[in-house]
Chain A
Amino acid sequence: MNTPERRARLLVCCYPPAWRARYGDEFVQLLVDEMAERPRSPARTADVVRSGLIVRLESAGLTGDALDPQQQARAGLGALGVAASAFLAAGVAIWAQLTIGWQWSAPAAPATRTGMLVMSGAMLGLALLAILGAVPLLWTICRELAGGRGRALVVPLLAVGLGSVTLIAGSIHFGHGWPGTGGHPWAGRDIVPGDVARFCWAATLWIMSYWAHPGTLASFPASEIGWMVVSPVALGAILIGAAKTLRRLQISARVLRYESWLGLAAGAAMAAFLAGAGSWIVSGSPAPRGLFRVGAIDSVGIVVMAAALIVAFRAAQRTLAAHPSRTVA
């Protein structure tokens, strides 16, 4: 394959698979023709990357008018789920560290205490919303599978299942390895049970600043480093599998509307969690014993959560605006 062809095919990867299946070949040809005239053009590359992002946002139901209302609603829900998961990954990492800190000693700053209570309440709310949202979807999946219409769901459901088993089993196993909580009698002194705190800590162990310090990272046991690689892969498998399941599932208009409202409620809970985390960051007090110190990774987590919150609200709004009821008999 010659160089312009290879470069063009690489650029086309900016677009989602469905778009590539329809326009990929002819778009590659246009790029090859353009490169024959002007071999190097940063502006052209930037334009393709921008356009690819726009098309991806459209196919995720976040912008534009590329999808019919039913697709729009489903794609919006998928985007909302991904945004909420990104939020939770960053949020749980912060929350688990703080709650483990509270196992040792309550935070000295009232703002940190209040923030942690708000974060814990929001986390509980998000867990309840996740259960409420999962029930009708699981029912729909069971109905599809029982009716023999669920062949397309098998692979994504397997990905969700394997990812979940890996993440849960690994988090339970590695949660015991943390020297601060494993088997200690103080579990229960905190606002959150120690088992929950250490499970969340182990599940998000890979979200740490030591990736930027390979020397320190190398001092970790090999099994923990392995877990830090496996756990995000498992999380990715769950997310991709869930998004694909959602896209392939025949969801009724009523369930779509219900899930959209839950999505908005989840957005409110995420906003409350972010406000709680903000309260801790602003208070800035690490006391006692530096247990509540704000690290660089926490600041990055806050930025990720803020971006995920914006995407989640946008996705929920567009899902509701799609009025899926109009397209379903």
Chain B
Amino acid sequence: MDPATLILSSLADGPKHGYALTKDIQGFADVRIAPGTMYEALARLERRGLIEPLESSDRRRPYRLTAEGALALGALLDSQRRIADVGLRRLASSTGTA
């Protein structure tokens, strides 16, 4: 799974900093994003305006989804759901199981 999709999905329920993102994603996707990969994706998402940093009193800077990011995530997940639906339906018809 693409780290950007995982990060956007994690931020869908509220702002999180880097380590909170790591733990949350590990919890719902069973994937641990390494720190370098995490910040590579965060920087790219910020450049594209899909997330934005929030002020922080310490070094743990939280990020939140922008309106554009929410739209992009919705479209992305919708597309993935359609692909998953087609794949599951075809799998079920070829093996006889759902």
Contacts and interface: CB of A to CB of B under 8 A. Distances in A.
Tell me the dominant secondary structure on chain A's binding face.
Answer: helix
B62 to A, nearest CB: 9
A51 B37 contact: yes
Interface stretch (A25-33, A154-162, A197-205, A207-215): A25-33
Interface stretch (B5-13, B17-25, B68-76, B77-85): B17-25
A23 interface: yes
A64 to B, nearest CB: 8
A44 B19 CA distance: 14
A51 B39 contact: yes
B19 A43 contact: no
A149 interface: no
Given A19-B43, A25-B59, A26-B59, A33 B37 contact: no
A31 B38 CA distance: 11
Contacts of A43: 34
Interface residues of A, number: 24
Given A43-B34, A44-B34, A47-B34, A27 B19 contact: no
Contact-residue size bin, chain B (C-beta under 8 Å from the other chain): 10 to 19
Max count, chain B CB within 10 A of own CB: residue among A22, A23, A25, A44? A23
Given A25-B59, A26-B61, A33-B19, A48 B35 contact: yes
A31 B17 contact: no
Contacts of A48: 34-36
B60 interface: yes
A83 to B, nearest CB: 24
Contact of A30 (B38, B40, B47, B58): B38
A49 B34 CA distance: 11
Interface of B: 17-19, 22, 34-40, 42-44, 47, 58-61
